[in-house]
Every structure is written in structure tokens, then in C-alpha cells.
Structure 1
Amino acid sequence: MFKRIAIVFFVLVGLVLAILAASFWLVPKDRLNAVIAKQLSDAFGYNVVLSGKPSVSLFPYLSVNFGPLSVAADETSAQPLMEIARARGRLSVTSLWEGDPALRAIELEQATITLDRDAAGNTNWTAARFFSKSAEGASENAQGNSPQATSQSAKDSLATAPQLRFPKRLRSIHLIDSKLMISDAALEAVQVIDNINATIVGPPRSANFTLSGSFVWQGEKVDAVASLEQPGAFVVGDISAGSISITSQPASAEFAGKLSWKNELRGDGSLQATVSSAARLSEWIGLTGADILPAGEIQILGDGIFTRRKLAFRPISVRNGDMKADGRLDLDLSGPGVGLSGTLAFNWLVFGGAAGAGIPANRDEASRPQPSMIETVLKMGQSGARMDLRVSADSARIAGQEVKGLAAGVILTPASFLVNIGTAQLNEPSGGEGRPLSQLRGEFAVDFDAAVNRARANLTLSNTSLAALERVFAFNIPLEGRSTISFQSTAQGDDILGLEETLKMSIAAEIEGGWLESIDLSSLLDSRERAAVGRLSGDAMRTPFKKGRVVGSVNASGVFAVSEMRLEAEDAVISASGQADFANDRLSILGTVAKPVPVPIIAGSGEGTPVEPVYFTLGGALSKPRISSVNGVQVPAN
């Protein structure tokens, strides 16, 4: 029994070898170049020219090796669409017994594909040329290679749309160590995709078009899988179902939905994306301002409509640790920079600070230093990025400050950057138990210029606790009370250092019901108290007032020049000017104390209420001011 099986086996092997050997001799070597060139021309829809003499091998399968070869572009272009160093085609054995050899699979090694688009939008290739005008052959192939009969609806669909130009027996095309070069004159950019190793499968093996493989772009390896139903319908503008999956180290994404092609790719469907490193992704795709992007993993879910240059999500949902945002976004890729517009509602967010990198992925990390907003804005403006966003947040941390109920608009153009704050409630940081600090409104703007950048701000803090403000900004303010503070600032420079060095800020504060700490200035109107003036300075002293106003300006060194200070107490009016050096904690103020309504001295009564005001100077530290002179007489320090 075993002997019979062995005999049958060896007979079959011998028969197969004999068929292969016979097939080898049936290959028309004298005209093989022309036969292969025609099949490849039929497959690509473009004229293929083979150079060199082909060779036929029998093992491990019947194949032909040839090359180099080139694929001509559209007639308007002198440069080839594709240049291939070497190629290896697997031949169908049965085709040799029927006529000319037919390719079953082909490997294209070290192919360079060049896709050009000029300023008018004309390309050196036409997608429709990759498709046949008749579906008869494709329909026949689909039926002959399907384990089940094709349904009538599928037949009708196949019969009404162009199909891939895959020859009847060609099952797959493989790209090995290849390169794709894409140039766009309108964008003044050339993209190079290297190390392409991919497999393209089309009819007759499948009624669909599939592509799978990997490539390297901008130094990152990318794995990609794409599938498309009825590719012929897709290329003439009809809608086809399809999916795309891309995986890389910085990010991965999956799209499933409807695809079509009419001079450019269009899609409508659902997107799922995961960003492992926003900073690396931004660096990879050339997005400036990566240092303000979130740290940690970002998950994106949305329904999107996209073309080659635009992407719209309605709706979109973004998750980054504790942070969540929902809304809609539009991306515009038609310019030298990325354009972003839309509306996002956050549960919380973090933005801006002094230094550092990355938005924290959770609240525990939110206190670490953040990048300078101005520095980031300068980078983004120089890159040509564009933005028009409406942002809201239940809570936020901006430049290290706690914010509730934020509603703001952010507009970035190549010429300017504007943040318009409609409303924001500033809270004390956690050390201050998160109590309300003030309401913030106003705008901040930077105008970009080739020679110099100009920054300006116009902000108002209302219902502000000066004591809380002191804790927030970590410098001493010897005044207390609820106030409304207006800030107007300007700066100019060609970089962040230049802006910081030229910063000028005007401040006007209207204070209701407060006091001046560590000093009792009202008592200077009493001659007896004035005689013991040393006792009027100290921790237990204060000058209460009903209404106050402070106006001045701050320079880049942290010196506040007080042009006007007026405090209206119950029985005295205090007017003063001078300067407060916040950086060095020093105070130098010259002022007067007078009665609200002067009361003349009663003749013969001796001492009384003076008609003339009392002059004084304040000195010492901001944290502990003292009266240093009264009416020109120096007061010894305690």
C-alpha cells in the first residue's frame, strides 16, 4: 500500500516538473519584453517601457526577471510617472498553454513614483487612467474567482462603473524598497515617502481594492491598511465604501465611511485616533507650538468630512487624561500653515505659563510651569498657522491661575493673534482654598511684523480682592479691599526677550472699602499723634478708607510708578505719588493728608485742626512700609 502511494506521489511530482519544464520552454523569450510591457501598460493605464534583456527562472516558481523599466506620465509631463530599477513577475503556468504568458503577481523593486501638481492644479497623472472603461472583464473575473455566484445587484453595480485595470490573471502588485515623491507648486512643498513596502490586491482575487504595507515619512515608520469597494466608481466621483488604518509611534488613526474621487480625495465617515505623543506628532508633521500641546495619550472620536486640503469634524470628542472636550473643528491645510476653527467646550484645560513643556494629562500635574503664551504665539505666527476658535471651560488654569466659567475667542492670522475673553472667574489657587478672586474680561493681542512684533492688552478685573491678588502674584501689595482694576499694556520686539524688555503697563484701580496696611496716616492730622509719629507705623496699624483710586504704570523691571493715589477716609483725604519696586520689595511714596472739608483753627483755642495738609513720605519694604518723614522732618526708624 505504501509503495503504491509513493509511486503515485513521485509520478505526480514528475508530472508537475514536466509541466513546469515544458512551460519554461513555452515562454516566448524573443518577444517577452513586448508581452510584459503590454500587460503592465494595461494594468497601469500608462505606457510602460522595458530596458534590458529579461531572464526566466523555474524555481521557486515560474517567473521572469526584468528591468529597469519606466512608466510614462501624462503627455504634458516630460518626467516619467514611475521609474523602477528591477522587477520580478510570477507567470501563470496555464496561460502558456493558452497563448502568451500572463503575469500572476509582480514585484517592483526600488520604484520611484513622482506625482506633480502645478500652481493651476494640473497633475502629471490622471486617476481615471488606472481604470478600464468597460466592466465586462472585471465582472467575469469577479464571478470566476468568487466561491459564490455574484448577486444581480452586484453585477449591475459592476457593470455601471469602471474597474481597476488589473489583467485577468494578475492578482497582486508588490512594491519593495520604493519611494513616492509628491510636489505641489501651490503649497511650495515636496513630500518624500521612503521605504515603501506594500501589496496591492485587486480583481480578480477580490472585487475590492486593498492595500497593505509600510513606509517611512519624516523619519517615522508608518503601517497602513486601506480597503475600497468598487474602486472604479470611486475614481469617477461616485461614492464607495472604504476604510483606512494608519499606525505610527506618535499616533494611530482609523477611518471608515464613504470615499470618492473627483480631482481629489473626498471622505465622509467616522474617525478614531489615538495620539501617543502630541509633541512628537507636532514635530513630525511640522506643527509649530508643540510645547503647549497636551502631554499623555489623547483620544479623538468624531464624524468627519475631509478632502485633500480640508477636514471638518461635526461632532468631535477629545479625551486627554482628566480633560474632556466636545464640539466641532475645521482644519484647513491649503496654506503654508495649518488653519483651525470651530467651537470646543472643555470640562477643564491648562494654558500658558513661564517655562516648561506640555499641558498636563491630569490635575495633579497642572501646577507645573507651562510655556510662555507670547513665546508660543510668536512661533505659531511665524509658521503661518491660522486659528479661529471659540473656547469654553468649566474650569481652567491659565498662566498658573485658577479660572471658572471661561468663555473666550482665539483668533490667529499670519498678521496677528487675539484672545478675546468674554467672561472668566479667577479663583485663588489651591493654597487659597479656591475662593473667588475676580471676574476677568478683555483682550490680549500680538501684531506680527517682519521687523518687530507688537503686543498689547486691555483687561479688566472686577470685584477683585487685593489680598488674594497679592497671594496669586507673589508680591506685596500694602492695600486691601475689593477693587476693579484695568490693565493696558504694550510691548514690542523681534523675539520674546525683546517683548519682555520693552513691556509697559498702565494700571488703574478703583477700590471700595479697604485699608492701607501697617500705617495710620489719618492720625497725622492730630498734632499729638504727630508728635509720636513713630507709633503710627507697625503691624497693628492701618488706614481705613471708604473709597480709593490708584493709577500708575509698570515697566519690565517690575517698578510700579504711582502717578495718582487717592484714599478717602471718614475724616481724611490722602493723596500721594511715587513708586513701588515689586522686584526688590521697596517703597518710596510722597503724599499729603488733609481733612475732607478744611476746618479753620478757632482763635485763641490753642491747638486745633490744621487747615493746611500734612506732608509725609513713606519708605521701607512693601511688606512692611513705614512713615519716614512728616512735613520735611525725618522720622527715625524703629
Structure 2
Amino acid sequence: MAQGMKRLGMPIAALFGVAVLALIGTSWFLNRDALRQAVEAQIRAVTGLDLVVTGAIDVSVFPGSYVSFHNVGLKGGGTADPALQVDVLTANLRLLPLLLRRFEIADVMMLRPHIRVVREAGGESNWTPFIERIARTMKPGAENQVSFSEIRIQDGVIKYEDATNNVKEQLSDIDLSLAWPSISRSFAATGQFDWRGERVDGSISASDFVAMLSGDRSGLKARLVSAPLKLAFDGAVANRTSLMMEGTVTADSLSLRNALRWMGQPVPGSGGFGRFALKARANVVGASVALTNVNVELDGNVAEGVMTVANNGRQTLQATLAAGALDFTPYISTFRLLASGARDWNRQLFDLTSLSATDLDMRLSAARVTVGGTKLGRTALGANLRGGALALSVGEAQMYGGIAKGSFGIARSDTVADVKAQLQFTDVDLQACANELFGITKLSGRGNLGLSLVASGASPFGLASSLDGTATMTGHDGAIAGFNVEQLLKRLERRPLSGGGNFRSGSTPYDNLSVSVRFNDGIATVEDIRVDGPTTRLTLTGTASVPSREYDLKGVASLTSAAAGGDKGFELPFVVQGPWDDPLVFPDPESLIRRSPGAAPLLDAVKDRKTRDAVRSVIERFTGGGPRPAAADGPAGAKAN
């Protein structure tokens, strides 16, 4: 066996030695000009470009068979600037044809190529003539068939310019391998490149390369993987009059906010836009992308529906989506109407730049919606953003135990937000509604609330200071916490000056509540507040400051005839003053003094200095005696007073 292997190895070694000697001999007698011309002709046949060599030309046959051109420019198609410049272009030669004095390129390697792509207004580019030439060359039966099927790019740069859309992009540090096997019609490119500071790993394959170059339909698979975003497409492509693609698209990102920033897109606010995933059937026509069978996930929210994205000079997003549960809390977490930990309105200026970035038209429905601490049931929302104006419409929302409808709009004017709200709440829990909308915690019951408000400002405080409009509320079967009107009135009816009691405990039940308020420059004027309870009635007038969030109201509380034993009800004026969340409610002092049999004459005397005798009489009644001698004046008298 060993002897057989030795006999077999001797002819192989001999053949190898002959081949080496043939190569060495070929290198001595090789016509280098013919080799260079043959290589140039083959590259021209494949690329449609003419080589303009301004540097040295290296030719090697052994140990490596190649031709290297230094400082090469490839140009053509009538463009003034080269479409491609290469520091070193190396054509590796096939060994066997070389022994027969034929020059065939096995593959081409371009070191540090600089590729320039300029898109013209009509959609064509400076590369259009070259692509057409390649397509003609590669068609079956063409005169110049492709002799090599792989091009490698190392440390390349691509610069893209689109003056019509004012777009300039650059890919750098490109390492790619382009392959189109001669025995098939397919094409594949794999490699890596840098874009906007991120390394991108990409691949693309076409089932019919000639058809794709000619603009005809071809199967297409593409994948891009980077730290901010992963993107994949599997479908078909055509480009006759405009780009057309259809297939399945998938996208995935750990942070949509980072991905959008990486792509140069503004992101509204500073909350949310984290984990993102999308899978859909895509139909691309020009700059418009229609997505059907959409399944999208963002910040844990999952929805299904259809979407359309267009970029015709301005980005537009249209969508109709349905979800089981949505949580909007991440998107409003950084927006605070009130200053953190305080009762004052937030004075931080609005950031309205995102309102002018994209046009949006969205329809959204969900079985459950969460907004901060607010829980909503079945909800239908609409959002329209156009020209810096955002309009939100609520078709119907199960909210605060009732139904909410209305609209909310924000228009941008420089740094100022113009806000308009038209809202109607029907049969809602007034305690939850008044607390979340106005910070009022003392009201309970069920009822209706209507708001028609406008404001303009650069911060929540600015909006509160310019608030105009109206608010109406009706309620039933509830209570006002903080004081028991019936108990208070009965006690003060018996003893008007029994001021040691606590006026801020208990609650006042009511059967019906009616409120009508008008706002003007941040001041709420009470046009009518009426509270009718089983045994009491309250009416209020006055004002409330929205910027300072304080009441300045006066009212009248009265016992109804049933509570007064059939007699005319006892009436008592009272005052409501102080902050919205914890106001002071106390009887009108002048009214109490007048109702006291002993103190009423004193009040009249104080107002009229001429009635000194009445004053003296009242003082004697309080001190429990008649006139005192002068000697009694002193500490004892002071104590009596």
C-alpha cells in the first residue's frame, strides 16, 4: 500500500513541479500590456465603466496571479465627477487559463473605494447608465458574458446626495462581498458598514439579479442588524417607473427612541418609546409604505390593524389600530400640570418642537386604557397632527364610571401653546372626576360635567393664567365633605356665638347639585351654585383664582322647613376661602353677632359712635353688673373685660 502511494505521489509532485515551472516561465514571457488591456476590457464589460489609471500598475504571475491598479477612477455616463474612485483595484486571475496564455478574472478586490451616488429630480442617478449596462451584459446570449462573479470591497465609503429632498448620507468603513454565480441568476451581498456612528451588519439577496437591474420583478431578501434597530424584508421588488416592493417586514428595537434619534427623527417628550417590535405585510410604492396585518408592540402595548407611512416632502403616518389594553402612562409621566410636591402650577416651559415634525392621523380603540392613575374602559380615540396643530377626539370612553366624549386641541405658535377643550362627562363619579381634573377632593356623588375652555401659554402656569370659557356640573345623591351644615346651623341657631366648635368636620349630603362657572383670564366667576339636601340648602357666589388655586366665595346655608319644624328655615351666611384642596369654611362673623341678643346692639354701637348708652348697657350686661366705682378699674376690671 505504501509503495502504491509513493508511486501515485510521484506523478502528482511531478505535475505540480511542471506547473510551477510553467508559471515561472509564463511570468518571464508574459505580455503585461496585453494582460492589463484584457483585465480592463473584462471590468468594462461587467461594470460598464472605463478605467482611468493614474498610478502604478503591478502585475504578478507567481506565487500570486493578479493585476493591481493604483489610483483608479471609474467613470462614464457623461458625468463630470467619477462615480467611483479606488485606491487599489486588484483583479485576481484564474490559474489554468493563465497557463494557456488566456487572461480571465477570478474575482476583483477594491481597497478603499469611494462611491458617489447623486439622485436626480426625476428619480434617476449618476449610476443609472452603468446599471443599465450591467443588465445588458448579464442577459443570456449577450455578446460580452461575465467572466467573474465576485467583487470584494474593503474599507469603502459611499456618499449619497439628493438635492431635491435635501438629503446627504454617508456609509463608511464598508466591508462587503458581492456575488452573482454564473451558473444561476441570483445575487447576494453580505458585509458590514458604519452609519451615523453605529456598526451595521447587512445582507441582501435577489433571486433574479438581471430582472432586478432591469426594473422587472425579482424576489428579494434583506436584513440589517445594528444596536439601535433590527430590520428585515422578505418579498419581491420591481422598479419600472417607481420603486415597488411587497412582502413581509419585521422590525425590532430595544429602544424606539434611540432608533428614531439614530435615523434623525425627532421624538416627542422624554418618556416612553422603549421596547418596540413590528411585523406586517408591506406594500411599497415610491415613497409610500402601506402596512396591513400589522402586529405592533410598544412599551408593552400590543395592537393590530393597518398603517400607512409616506414621505412626500413631509412625513405622514396614518393608522387604525385596535388593542386589548393600553397604558399611556409612560408618555405623560414627564408632563406635570402641578409643580412636583407643591400646590402651584408647573412653570416649566413646554417643548413643542415635536408638533411640527410629522403629520399624524390615527384611530385607536381599546378595551381598557390606563393614563396614570386613571382607568378607562372601552375607549375610541382619534389623533390628528398637521402643521404643528394636534387635535384629539374622544368618540366614547368609559371613564370615572360613566361616559366621556369631546375633543382637545393644541396649536403651536412659536413657544406658546394654544389649547382648546370641549369635553362632556355623563353620569360619572364626581369624586374621582373632580379630583383628577381640578384637584377638588371634597365632593362625592354622581352627575354630569361639561367643559368648554380655551387657554394660551408657554407653561401650565401660563395656561392657568389665561383660561377662558365655561364649566357646568349637575350632581345627585352625593355629599360635600368638610362640614355638616345641618348640625352647624342648628347649633348656631341656638347659640350664635358658640364659636368653639369645629366647623371642618362631618359632611353635608345633597339630593341635587347645580354649578355654573365662567372663566375669564384665569378667574372663575361663580354664576350659580346651588346645593339642595334633605334638610339643608346651600347657595354660593364669588370667584376662584385658577393661577393661585384659591377660593373667595360667599354663600348662604339654610335649614329647610322640614328640618326647622315647619317654621321658616334658619339662614346663615358663610365664607369659603383658601386653597382648592383644603379650603376654610366658616360662618360670616357679622351675621353671628347680629343673631346674638346681647351682641347685636354692640355691633350697631360700634358702627354708630353716637349710641354710647347702648354700648355701655351691652358692656354691663357682659360684665354682669352695673356702674362700678373708679377704684374698681384696674387688674380686676381688666380681667372682667
Question: Shorter-chain TM-score category?
Answer: 0.7 to 0.9
The Cα shift of 1:257 comes to 1.4
Aligned to 1:329: 307
CA distance change for structure 1 residues 212 and 60 in 2, over 3 Å: closer, same or farther? farther
SS at match of 1:537: coil
The answer as to 2:5 corresponding to 1:40 is: no
Q: Which residue of 1 aligns with 2:318?
A: 341
1:512 to 2:476 alignment: yes
Change (3 A) 1:222 1:541: closer
In 1, are the aligned partners of 2:538 and 2:556 still within 8 Å (CA)?
yes
CA distance in 2, matches of 1:619, 1:90: 92
Structure 2 CA distance for aligned equivalents of residues 173 and 467 of structure 1: 73
CA contact (8 A) 2:398 2:404 kept: yes
Q: Quick check: 1:258–1:269 contact (8 Å CA) kept in 2?
A: yes
SS in 2 for 1:132: helix
1:19 to 17, 22, 36: 22
Tell me if structure 2 keeps the 8 A contact 1:519–1:543: no
Answering whether residue 161 of structure 2 is matched by residue 183 of structure 1, we say yes
**Which residue of the other structure, out of 478, 494, 512, is the alignment partner of 2:442?**
478
Change (3 A) 1:629 1:496: closer
Q: In the alignment, does 2:76 pair up with 1:86? A: no
The farther-off stretch of 416-425 and 14-23 is 14-23
* SS in structure 1 at match of 2:505: strand
Matched AA of 1:549? V
SS of structure 1 residue aligned to 2:182: coil
Q: How far did residue 80 of structure 1 move?
A: 1.8
- SS class of match (1:186): coil
- The whole-number CA distance in structure 1 between the counterparts of 2:322 and 2:71 is 57
Deviations 1:368-416 (A, max 9, x none): xxxx9x9998232232x11111111111222542222111111111231
The answer to whether 1:114 aligns with 2:116 is yes
Given that 1:515 and 1:543 are in contact with CA atoms closer than 8 Å, whether structure 2 keeps it comes out as yes
Distance 1:133 1:168 in 2: 7
Q: Aligned residue for 2:135?
A: 131
The letter of the residue matching 2:136 is S
State the alpha-carbon separation in 2 of the partners of residues 415 and 299 from structure 1: 28
Match of 1:627 in 2: 586
Match of 2:287 among 295, 304, 309: 309
Query: What SS does the corresponding residue of 2:363 show, helix, strand or coil?
Result: strand
1:258 to 236, 260, 265: 236
Q: How far apart are the structure 1 equivalents of 2:213 and 2:517?
A: 68
Q: 1:42 to 1:581 in 2, by over 3 A?
A: same
Give yes or no for the alignment of 1:382 onto 2:371.
no
Alpha-carbon distance in structure 2 between the residues aligned to 1:88 and 1:265 = 34
Go from structure 1 to structure 2 and tell me whether the alpha carbon gap of 1:345 and 1:440 turns closer, same or farther (over 3 Å shift): same
**1:74 offset after TM fit, Å?**
3.0
Match of 2:148, SS state, is coil
Question: 2:72, 2:86 within 8 Å by CA — same for their partners in 1?
Answer: yes
- Kept in 1: contact 2:46–2:146 (CA 8 A): no
- Shift of the 409–198 alpha-carbon distance from structure 1 to 2, 3 Å rule, reads same
Superposition CA RMSD, Å? 3.7
| 1:255-404 correspondence to structure 2 within 5 Å | 255-289=233-267, 297-320=275-298, 322-336=300-314, 338-351=315-328, 378-383=352-357, 385-404=358-377
* Contact kept? 1:84, 1:112, Cα under 8 Å: yes
User: Aligned pair count?
Assistant: 572
Structure 1, 312-321 or 348-357: larger mean CA deviation = 348-357
Alpha-carbon separation, structure 1, partners of 2:459 and 2:195? 32
Equivalent residue of 2:246, what SS? strand
Which residue in the other structure is 1:69 paired with?
Answer: 72
Q: CA deviation at 1:268?
A: 0.8
CA distance in 1, matches of 2:234, 2:484: 74
Whichever residue aligns with residue 382 of structure 2, its letter is G
Give the alignment's TM-score, normalised by structure 1.
0.79
Equivalents in 2 of 1:440, 1:330: separation in Å?
Answer: 29
Contact residue 353 and residue 400 of structure 1 kept, 8 A: no
Compared CA separation, residues 614 and 181, structure 1 to 2 (3 A):
same
Distance 1:185 1:493 in 2: 38
Q: Distance in 2 between matches of 1:134 and 1:43?
A: 8
Q: Please report how far the alpha carbon of residue 193 of structure 1 lies from its aligned counterpart in structure 2 after TM superposition.
A: 1.3
Stretches of structure 2 that go unaligned for 5 or more consecutive residues are: 336-345, 595-641
Deviation at 1:40, TM superposition (A): 1.9
Superposition pairs of residues 531-570 of structure 1, within 5 angstroms = 531=496, 534=499, 537-553=503-519, 562-569=526-533
Could you say which residue in structure 2 is the equivalent of 1:609?
568
Q: 1:243 deviation in Å?
A: 0.9
Greater mean deviation of Cα atoms: 32-41 or 270-279: 32-41
The residue number in structure 2 matching 1:102 is: 104
Q: Is the Cα–Cα contact under 8 Å of residues 461 and 547 in structure 2 kept in the other structure?
A: no
How far residue 576 of structure 1 moved from its aligned partner, in angstroms, is 1.4
Q: Distance in 2 between matches of 1:620 and 1:445?
A: 31
Q: Evaluate the alpha carbon distance shift between residue 531 and residue 41 of structure 1 in structure 2; reply closer, same or farther with a 3 A threshold.
A: same
Q: In the alignment, is the contact (CA less than 8 A) between 1:209 and 1:227 conserved in 2?
A: yes
1:419 lines up with 2:383 in the alignment = no
Per-residue deviation, 1:472: 4.4
Work out the percentage of aligned pairs sharing the same amino acid. Answer: 20
- The aligned amino acid for 2:186 is N
CA contact (8 A) 2:272 2:331 kept: no
- What CA distance in whole angstroms lies between the structure 2 residues aligned with 1:23 and 1:490? 90
- Tell me: CA distance 1:608–1:136, structure 2 relative to 1, closer, same or farther (3 Å): closer
Give the whole-Å Cα distance in 1 for the aligned partners of 2:254 and 2:507: 58
Equivalent in the alignment of 1:208? 186
d(CA) in 2 for partners of 1:283 and 1:477?
A: 42
State the partner residue of 2:634: none
Tell me which amino acid in the other structure corresponds to 2:238. S
Deviations 1:53-89 (A, max 9, x none): 31012455311111212222532x3222111121111
Cα distance between partner residues in 1 of 2:67 and 2:154: 17
Equivalence map 1:573-588=2 (5 Å): 573-579=537-543, 587-588=551-552
Aligned to 1:231: 209
CA deviations on 1:494-537 (whole Å, 9 max, x unpaired) are 67886677566753222233332233446787772572675583
Q: Give the letter for the 1:350 counterpart.
A: D
Distance 1:454 1:628 in 2: 41
| TM-score, normalised by the number of residues in structure 2 | 0.79
Larger Rg: 2
Please state how far the C-alpha of 1:312 moved relative to its aligned partner. Answer: 1.3
Deviation at 1:327, TM superposition (A): 0.5
Report SS of the residue matched to 2:352. helix
Alignment check: 8 A CA contact 1:292 1:351 kept: no
CA contact (8 A) 1:26 1:96 kept: no
Tell me by how many angstroms 1:259 deviates.
1.4
Query: Measured at CA, do residues 308 and 36 of structure 1 come closer, stay the same or move farther in structure 2, by a change above 3 Å?
Result: farther
- What SS does structure 1 have at the residue aligned with 2:413? coil
Shift of 1:247: 1.2
User: What is the DSSP-based 3-state SS (H/G/I as helix, E as strand, rest coil) of the residue aligned with 1:283?
Assistant: helix
Moved more, 509-518 or 520-529: 520-529
Distance (whole Å) between structure 1 residues aligned to residue 182 and residue 146 of structure 2: 6
Alignment of 1:441-460 (within 5 A): 441-450=405-414, 452-460=416-424
Q: Which range moves more in the overlay, 461-470 or 170-179? A: 461-470
Q: Which amino acid aligns with 2:478?
A: G
Indicate the larger mover: 246-255 or 563-572.
563-572
Q: 1:341 to 1:211 in 2, by over 3 A?
A: same
Q: 1:357 to 1:131 in 2, by over 3 A?
A: farther
1:37–1:50 CA contact under 8 A, matched in 2: no
Q: Do the aligned residues in 2 keep the contact of 1:128 with 1:236 (CA within 8 Å)?
A: yes
2: distance between equivalents of 1:497 and 1:102? 78
